[in-house]
């Protein structure tokens, strides 16, 4: 093992042990220590779910990237494992960037982007290439033939610098990989490669490209079939805002279409935001043993990050979510495994909400809520959460506009950051249904059976646990609350 990896392993072991459970989220994955961004290598190996992640253990800010590592039997309780990769070769001296993993016989194969900083004359050059490392679920050897893919395999004019985030899968005894890239027009494209052996790749096709219409660089692709559709996930940078569907800056998108495997033809039919909240990026999926397609995302935004105060960790993942295709949309709901951690149920049926009020038994900072709203006599419904005398975050449903807004303006932020975002929602049979997962530092909202998701961070003092409900006319609400406890 290299000195650099060994140092990271010793450091994280010592420092993560100092963080008490009370100072972490209850049911969301958080970095052992230091900084975390993208999920990497989210995949099953020997019957367990593995999660790797972009990781800088030594500070709560982005630094030379390592791969952190954890595993879980149920997507909820995670066991930290020693860091898997460190930037310890010439070809990855600037960092081991995002990538993915597969189970391959007895072995686990990791595919990652090596970033090399190289001097040419008095200029510094950055080169990104794809590399592999093979291991046993704990320790990994970087392959002697690394890098296994260089940008010179890409079509003429493609960037040598922006070429990253390989997602690998195996099908009919062949390996496939999609990688984010930038083509001659400066905007994003997704390249497909295939291989008989994981160290000998061949360029197949550009699956889709931005043409400067869907942002600039396309990061973190994933590519899979979901019911009758083929989904290409991308995380584009530098997008322009469009209605309430896309916000400015980094977005995470589902490109929905069809796929002809014989000639690798992907035909995009439509684009959908993967999440409408303030903090969601770089999602990745796995297929569980029972066939479920499960997605996890980084719960943060590059453009508008907010950080936990006074902690030696910074970075969490969303709750893993089951994907399914319904009503011409890619839908998502929290993995069903969370239901095993529910306790202390409280329920109010058809309760009339008008003046702002609390409901006995409905409060807290680790909750799974199911809520439905009915009635024709109100225009705006407001729900405050994580509230105390001074602070709250608010979910507002505007029936006239057909929008749902999450607003953390008064959540206790001390920087002038973006605090609210809205999405279009529709009622189904005159009812709006919401599932809301509140953890100490985050709120995830799923509208209408998962048709839309909205994920945002809050770093309000954890003693702010109050919830209130109000409406400007008679609104009728069913609400079920569970507390989530993870021992
Ligand atoms: C996305 C990303 C990836 C890159 C990684 C670096 O958030 O920019 O494209 O591999 O983060 O940490």
Q: Convert the pLDDT of each residue in 401-444 to its tens digit.
A: 999 999 999 999 999 989 999 999 999 999 999 999 999 999 99
The catalytically annotated residue of 38, 92, 368, 407 is 38
| 181 pocket-lining for ligand 1 (C-beta < 6 Å) | no
Q: Is the pLDDT of residue 310 over 90?
A: no
To the nearest 10°, the Cα dihedral for 29, 33, 38, 44? -50
pLDDT of residue 369: 98
Residue 27 in contact with residue 338, Cβ under 8 Å?
yes
Q: Which residue lies with its CA nearest to atom 6 of ligand 1?
A: 97
Q: What is the pLDDT of residues 65-104, one digit of tens each?
A: 999 999 999 999 999 999 999 999 999 999 999 999 999 9
Which band of pLDDT confidence, cut at 50, 70 and 90, is reported for residue 50? very high
pTM: 0.98
HSE-up of residue 77 (Cα within 13 Å, Cβ side): 9
Q: Locate the DSSP E strands across 24-139.
A: 34-45, 48-56, 66-72, 79-85, 95-104, 107-120, 123-135
Report helix, strand or coil for 12. helix
| 164 pocket-lining for ligand 1 (C-beta < 6 Å) | yes
Q: Is the pLDDT of residue 304 over 90?
A: yes
Average model confidence (pLDDT) across the chain: 97
Q: How far, in Å, is the centroid of ligand 1 from the Cα of 416? A: 25
Dist CA 68 CA 83 (whole Å): 4
Q: Is the pLDDT of residue 308 over 90?
A: no
Dist CA 278 CA 50 (whole Å): 26
Which band of pLDDT confidence, cut at 50, 70 and 90, is reported for residue 309? confident
| 37 pocket-lining for ligand 1 (C-beta < 6 Å) | yes
What percent of the chain lies above the pLDDT cut of 90?
99
Instruction: Specify the ligand 1 atom closest to the Cα of 54.
Output: 12
Q: How far, in Å, is the centroid of ligand 1 from the Cα of 96? A: 10
| 282 pocket-lining for ligand 1 (C-beta < 6 Å) | yes
Q: How far, in Å, is the centroid of ligand 1 from the Cα of 327? A: 32
| 407 pocket-lining for ligand 1 (C-beta < 6 Å) | no
Q: What is the mean pLDDT of residues 211-215?
A: 97
Q: Is the pLDDT of residue 186 over 90?
A: yes
Give the angle 44-75-220 at the CA atoms, nearest 5°. 65
User: CA separation (Å) from 51 to 7, 60, 155, 160, 459?
Assistant: 21, 20, 32, 28, 24
Residue 151 makes CB contacts below 8 A (sequence gap 6+) with 127, 128, 129, 158, 159, 160, 163, 181
Q: What is the pLDDT of residues 160-183, one digit of tens each?
A: 999 999 999 999 999 999 999 999
Q: What is the pLDDT of residues 220-270, one digit of tens each?
A: 999 999 999 999 999 999 999 999 999 999 999 999 999 999 999 999 999
Q: What is the mean pLDDT of residues 301-308?
A: 93
Q: Is 208 a catalytic residue?
A: no
Q: Which residue lies with its CA nearest to atom 9 of ligand 1?
A: 219
């Amino acid at each position: 093992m290299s000195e650099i990896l060994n140092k990271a392993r010793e450091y994280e072991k010592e420092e993560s042990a100092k963080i008490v459970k009370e100072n972490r989220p209850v049911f969301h994955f958080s970095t052992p220590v230091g900084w975390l961004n993208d999920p990497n290598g989210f995949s099953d190996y020997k019957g367990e779910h593995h999660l790797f992640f972009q990781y800088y253990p030594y500070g709560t800010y982005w630094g030379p990237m390592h791969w952190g590592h954890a595993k879980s039997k149920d997507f909820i309780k995670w066991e930290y494992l020693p860091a898997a990769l460190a930037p310890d070769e010439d070809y990855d001296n600037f960092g081991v960037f995002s990538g993915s993993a597969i189970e391959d016989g007895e072995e686990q194969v990791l595919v990652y982007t090596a970033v090399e900083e190289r001097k040419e004359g008095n200029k510094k050059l950055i080169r990104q290439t794809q590399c592999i490392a093979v291991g046993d679920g704990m320790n990994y050897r970087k392959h002697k033939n690394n890098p296994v893919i260089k940008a010179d395999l890409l079509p003429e004019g493609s960037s040598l610098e922006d070429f990253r985030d390989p997602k690998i899968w195996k099908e009919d005894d062949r390996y496939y990989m999609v990688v984010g890239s930038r083509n001659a027009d400066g905007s994003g494209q997704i390249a497909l490669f295939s291989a008989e052996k994981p160290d000998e790749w061949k360029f197949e096709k550009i699956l889709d490209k931005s043409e400067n219409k869907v942002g600039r660089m396309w990061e973190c692709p994933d590519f899979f079939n979901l019911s009758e559709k083929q989904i290409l996930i991308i995380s584009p940078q530098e997008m322009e805002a469009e209605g309430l569907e896309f916000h400015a800056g980094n977005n995470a998108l589902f490109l929905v279409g069809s796929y002809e495997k014989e000639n690798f033809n992907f035909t995009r039919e439509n684009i959908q935001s993967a999440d409408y909240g303030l903090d969601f990026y770089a999602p990745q999926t796995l297929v569980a043993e029972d066939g479920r397609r499960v997605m996890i995302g980084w719960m943060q935004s590059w453009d508008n990050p907010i950080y936990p105060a006074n902690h030696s960790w910074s970075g969490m993942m969303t709750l893993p979510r089951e994907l399914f295709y319904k009503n011409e949309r890619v839908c998502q709901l929290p993995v069903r495994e969370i239901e095993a951690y529910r306790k202390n149920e409280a329920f109010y049926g058809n309760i009339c909400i008008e003046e702002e009020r609390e409901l006995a038994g409905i409060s807290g900072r680790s909750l799974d809520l199911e809520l439905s709203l009915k009635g024709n006599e109100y225009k705006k419904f407001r729900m405050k959460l994580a509230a105390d005398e001074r602070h709250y975050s608010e979910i507002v449903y505007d029936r006239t506009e057909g929008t749902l807004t999450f607003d953390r303006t008064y959540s206790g932020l001390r920087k002038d950051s973006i605090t609210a975002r809205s999405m279009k929602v529709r009622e189904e049979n005159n009812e709006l249904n919401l599932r809301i997962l509140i953890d100490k530092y985050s709120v995830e909202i799923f509208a209408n059976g998962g048709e839309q998701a909205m994920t945002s961070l809050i770093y309000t003092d954890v003693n702010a646990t109050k919830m209130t409900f109000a409406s400007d006319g008679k609104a009728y609400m069913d609400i079920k609350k569970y507390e989530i406890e993870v021992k």
